[in-house]
Structure 1
């Protein structure tokens, strides 16, 4: 059974002409790290938050979202509260926003499992101390306030809090964005060790392709609410089969890149206030034809690679390096 199984998810918001999330399929197996990458506004965060039932006001959904086999979209409020303190947890982008500055670290760590009855107060305190040590912090920090800790330490506290209920699924939404480079590397290494130790499935949301390549087993590339390409990390980054993936890779700064201007993707993502026909990337793609503008492509496997799928009519023309795009 998968830690997360999203099937044909569609999410509509008031005032939009098309779904914000449009037919997404995504899975995370136990102990697996899956990266969800794409530009800002592509739908990455909404997709990850659907696993916790954290949807915007007025949102309507179609499809299925299963966490450890349980349907999230049909849960009542009590079941969702139990899910968020047990089976699934999220590591948010900015720990200083997510942690109440007026409460001690120990209160923040134990509050959820105590109030829902998952653990007694004594068990919760022991679990909090154990997890603080697991993330490389002193257990005595439970008596400190958030303002007494650095940003890197607070993000470690966030990770410990996410593990309090022994979840089968961790959702990490750009968890290193607010940190300096050294702290980023420490947090990424820590997540890798904790995944191996606890066997937790990890969905890592990021716009950093280099980071996705370093941490993930599989990658989903998202564009305009749709999955453009998915496959094993090494294969997808080495031989992309969707022009959007190739363009993202070509625009990534590299030390060995030739001198000159950094490559960029021309144009803008499609407007949510307008209907979308055909391929979502067609207006920005140099390979686009009338077929692309009229008919949305289905995800097709690469020859001999059934796990590497790309929703592109002309994926075969991208055989080669990312710089060909």
Structure 2
């Protein structure tokens, strides 16, 4: 799908999402963009709101969800779409690669039926046209056409995730949402899938939002990074600069807790405490109870996401963004 050159494939502005029975919004004013032919990583601990943000881009909202703000894919606001428009969005404009490929397919159906179904039912393609497209996409992900005749249980996890990526490309989408796409795979398959996504993104010029809790993977694949905590973006910037010098204590703590081959021996650093419960109202900075450099100001006033002086494109939501080195030293 082609969109105007300067139109982001994904544009989220002031996006808030609240669920029944929660004391605070699950997503609290998220701002995020993914440009055409750009790979953006969204990182954070489990429960931070990463997956809910990515699923919202397809209009996949939990029951009872109440939303505010705008969420545009290829220039169209997802939150105002009709059911018919949402079906078109999910089959042509955007696609998702889920973390567990076996949960996304019917084990009793051949993979060829899975790959071609959308084109046959939603695009009106003939069986031959849909199969030809499937063969092209399988070739793009390094799989032979014979995979069309196999069942999910007859291929490895790594091969099945490649099939999922081929399925995501079938409609020539402007945006791919990869939600923890390597979690269910072994280490060698993880590396293959990450390299494949990177290669395909460059070849097809597709915008890619890569959701992960693994900062090593984020560093390997992304152009820009958003760090999320308690439903908020707490830091964003170019991947290389953010990983070299994080400006939010949470980003620094995540990096300190990431296994590294060149790290000294002993136990890995850990982030003390736990993420805030959705049953708790928040006062001040959400990370303050776990932050080793927090002050009284942090417990009383929530910091805004503001530009970092001297670093274009870099934003951080921290009253003490110049003290992140202390967090690394603490770890």
Fold shared per TM-score above 0.5: yes
Measure, in 2, the Cα distance between the counterparts of 1:245 and 1:176: 21
Measure, in 1, the Cα distance between the counterparts of 2:149 and 2:131: 11
The match for 1:156 is 162
Query: Which runs of 5 or more residues in structure 1 are unaligned?
Result: none
Q: Does 1:196 align with 2:202?
A: yes
1:145 Cα deviation from its structure 2 partner: 1.1
Q: Select the residue among 228, 252, 256 that pairs with 1:246.
A: 252
Measure, in 1, the Cα distance between the counterparts of 2:198 and 2:138: 16
Q: Select the residue among 252, 266, 277 that pairs with 1:260.
A: 266
Secondary structure at the aligned position of 2:12 is classed as strand
Q: Does 1:58 align with 2:64?
A: yes
The match for 1:129 is 135
Q: Select the residue among 43, 52, 55 that pairs with 1:49.
A: 55
The match for 1:310 is 316
Q: Select the residue among 77, 80, 105 that pairs with 1:74.
A: 80
1:324 Cα deviation from its structure 2 partner: 5.7
Structural mapping, 1:1-325, within 5 Å? 1-117=7-123, 119-318=125-324, 322-323=328-329
1:214 Cα deviation from its structure 2 partner: 0.6
Measure, in 1, the Cα distance between the counterparts of 2:80 and 2:137: 32
Report the RMSD for the aligned CA atoms in angstroms. Answer: 1.3
Secondary structure at the aligned position of 1:110 is classed as helix
1:57-111 per-position Cα deviation (integer Å, ceiling 9, x unaligned): 1111001110000000111111100100000000011111101111111110011
Secondary structure at the aligned position of 2:211 is classed as strand
Distance 1:309 1:40, change over 3 A: same
TM-score for both structures, normalised by structure 2? 0.95
Contact 2:43 2:50 in 1 (8 A): yes
Contact 2:257 2:268 in 1 (8 A): yes
Count of residue correspondences:
325
Measure, in 2, the Cα distance between the counterparts of 1:108 and 1:153: 15
Measure, in 2, the Cα distance between the counterparts of 1:293 and 1:320: 19
Runs of 4+ in 1 over 6 A off after TM superposition: none
TM-score for both structures, normalised by structure 1? 0.97
Contact 1:8 1:23 in 2 (8 A): yes
